[in-house]
Homo-oligomer: A and B are copies of this chain.
């Protein structure tokens, strides 16, 4: 019971911290929205249609907000952070379009996916267009160091997805390989039902006896895990402290993030970001 209350409280606090960021950057975020809408225009009607389905539907704009935050923290005075924030959202959207094709997903956050509405071909191609457009925008901003970071990110994200595809049903992958792969979402019930290998599974497998290992091998090979199996999985994780230690790992990365923020002068943006990290760690419990 306490767990549930803690969870919804920390969720609300996370939303609050995000809401504060939205308020701080409301004016710049409006300019980002204009840049997003402007670069979506195309003679191919499918492009704004599909892009708008994903980008236009709103969303948290977490990546543009972090881009704007970084610019403010570094006391950047130019105008290119607007273009970069829009480009980062385009890159993210391209990834979502391709991920839904790769995972055969029909729904995303309660909405039909683009591939569900327009098909795989359109999703692959519009994703490619958004990726190309993102690079075009970044090139227009003209910073080679920023281009270096973001083109490397694009290659590393795709590389991680390929690893995930290969490791999909292999409980024996190492913690390091797993950390190379994840993008920090750990919805254990859902992932377990799909037979996905997550850090709690890796820890429980590595620490388990022969019988437990057999269970995990079977559970990730058979992607139709039911409630009874989930109960068994949670019990095995509890015995091996797999969930608790996963949360510890999350705290470790949260602490690193906060230390990195500590380099910048204390102020509204820095404090809100630290609060966001704290709430994210709290949510992991």
Contact = CB atoms under 8 A, between A and B. Distances in A.
Interface of A: 42-47, 98, 101-103, 120-122, 124-126, 128-129, 131-133, 135-136, 138-140, 142, 144, 147-148, 151-159, 161-163, 165-166, 180
Contacts of A45: 166
Q: Which of A44, A45, A152, A180 has the most CB of B within 10 A?
A: A44
19 contacts: A42-B159, A44-B163, A44-B166, A46-B162, A46-B166, A47-B159, A101-B120, A102-B120, A120-B120, A122-B165, A126-B158, A128-B154, A128-B157, A132-B152, A132-B153, A132-B156, A132-B158, A136-B151, A139-B144
B43 A163 contact: yes
Contact of A151 (B98, B139, B155): B139
Given A135-B154, A142-B144, A154-B135, A125 B165 contact: yes
Contacts of A131: 128, 131, 154, 158
A128 B127 CA distance: 10
A151 B150 CA distance: 13
Q: Which 4 A-B pairs have the closest CB atoms?
A: A132-B155, A132-B154, A129-B158, A135-B151
Given A102-B124, A131-B158, 5 more contacts: A44-B159, A98-B124, A122-B165, A132-B151, A139-B144
A31 B138 CA distance: 29
Contacts of A153: 132
A162 B44 contact: yes
Nearest to A151: B135
A217 to B, nearest CB: 21
A252 B59 CA distance: 49
A98 B128 contact: yes
A133 B163 CA distance: 16
A46 B168 CA distance: 13
Contact of A124 (B101, B122, B152): B101
Contacts of A47: 159, 162
A98 to B, nearest CB: 5
A146 to B, nearest CB: 10
